Structure formats: C-alpha cells, structure tokens
Amino acid sequence: MKTKHCLERMRPAQIDAEKENMASIYVPIGAIEWHGRHNVVGLDSLKAHAQLCRVAEEAGGVVYPPIYTGWLPGNNDDHTYMVSAETLFQILMELLVGFERDGWKKAILLGGHYPNYHFAAKQVAEQWATEEHTLEILPMVENRIKEIRGDHAALDETSMMLDLYPETVDLDRIGGREAAEGTVDDKNDWLEAPKDHPCRGIIGVDPRLSTVEHGREVNDTIVAALVGWVQTGSIDLEW
C-alpha cells in the first residue's frame, strides 16, 4: 500500500501542500471484531483505510489513521471489543471540528464496520447539517453504492482483502476453495453457527469462493464512486 497521503506519515509542510492541492480528508472507521478464522480482526479498519488511500492517490487529499473503535450491541464474539455509539459519535464530531478549524473543505467518513455508519456517522452528518459549517461531509458505508451488496467476512470482504492485503487472508483455515458451499449467488448466515463450524460468525456468500479479481472489482467500484464525490460533489447512492 502506498503511504504518500497517510496523514500520520506527513510533515506539516507536506500536509499544507496537499491541502492546497485538494482540501479533502478521509476517515476510515472500523473495529476490532471477529471476521472468521481466515481474516484478521482489524479487517474493517484496514479495508476502509486502504480504499481511502486509493481515493487519495487518484483525487488528492489526505487519509486520517484508521479508527479501530467500533460499536455493535450484544456482539460477544471472540476477540471483539466495542464502545458505545455515544462515544464514537463524540470522537467523530470532535475530529470534524478540528478538520474544519484547520481549513479542510471536504471529509469522507467511511464505515468499514457497517454499524458505525448506521448508529454514529449518519447521526453525525444529521447533527452537522443543523449547524453552520464550511466543511462538507460524506458519511458512507460501501453497500450504499448500488453495485455493492455488502457482507460480513464472506466473499466480498474476503476478496477485498485479497486485493488490498493478501498476506492477511488464510483460506486454508476454513478448508479452502474445495470446501465451499453453493455458488456466488447463495447468501448464507453463519452468525450463530456452532463454534466448531468453519464459517462461524460469517454472513454472505461462502468466503472460500473469494478471489483477488473479485476483490479488485469491488474495491475499484467503491474507490471510483468516492473519487467522483471528491471531484464533483456528486455520488449515486441507494437508501
């Protein structure tokens, strides 16, 4: 992954130069959460961060360090650590105030962990819209883009990681491609499957069907939509 636009790796003069070029800042909001035996627990944050780095490479701007603070009530999976929606809301609001103070004009809040959008980022945008601000914000979750179906640790997310961070995926942990059930059109819900099930905690098409090519197609679609918003202020979203 290229790091040229990563805020934490930039000196003040580099940040100022990039802001002059494109005054946009991008915030990946994820979680530490079970994503199957085959994926790393930081998937949501890593995924959103890498996608936003690709947006910055194409459109300019800087990428804020990934936020690993997520919210989901009642999620007691192994290696899963959440905070309250109120805490996440406050973090995002205070960050936006700081971004506006420093002269940024656009901000994307990309929820790699979907509940972060539904229960925090969306509410942040609604509150922001009731106040006077110079910073325009776009709260996003990837499956608001009509071509993206969304899942949890299944075909799409796992394929995205094969494209973004292939070293983090180990499909052999869940039996490999030959163990896959169904086709790429069959959605499954293994969220409450027994602990010894290879796909416990997964929702969507069997991740054992994942490929780099599919991941690249999904990532490219997401990046293109976000680049379009940065450059034109327009994005075609569902719901």
Question: Could you tell me which residues are beta bridge partners of residue 32?
Answer: 81
Q: What is the pLDDT of residues 130-176, one digit of tens each?
A: 999 999 999 999 999 999 999 999 999 999 999 999 999 999 999 98
The superfamily CATH assigns to domain 7-232 is Creatininase (3.40.50.10310)
pLDDT above 80: residue 239: no
DSSP for 93-121, written as a single string: HHHHHHHHHTT--EEEEEESSHHHIIIII
* This prediction's pTM: 0.95
CA–CA separation, 184 and 107 (whole Å): 34
Q: What is the pLDDT of residues 170-222, one digit of tens each?
A: 999 999 888 998 899 999 999 989 989 999 999 999 999 999 999 999 999 99
Max CA distance (Å), the chain: 56
Q: What is the pLDDT of residues 46-65, one digit of tens each?
A: 999 999 999 999 999 999 99
Domain locations in the chain?
A: 7-232
pLDDT above 80: residue 110: yes
Q: Where are the alpha helices (DSSP H) in 63-172?
A: 85-101, 114-116, 122-129, 155-164
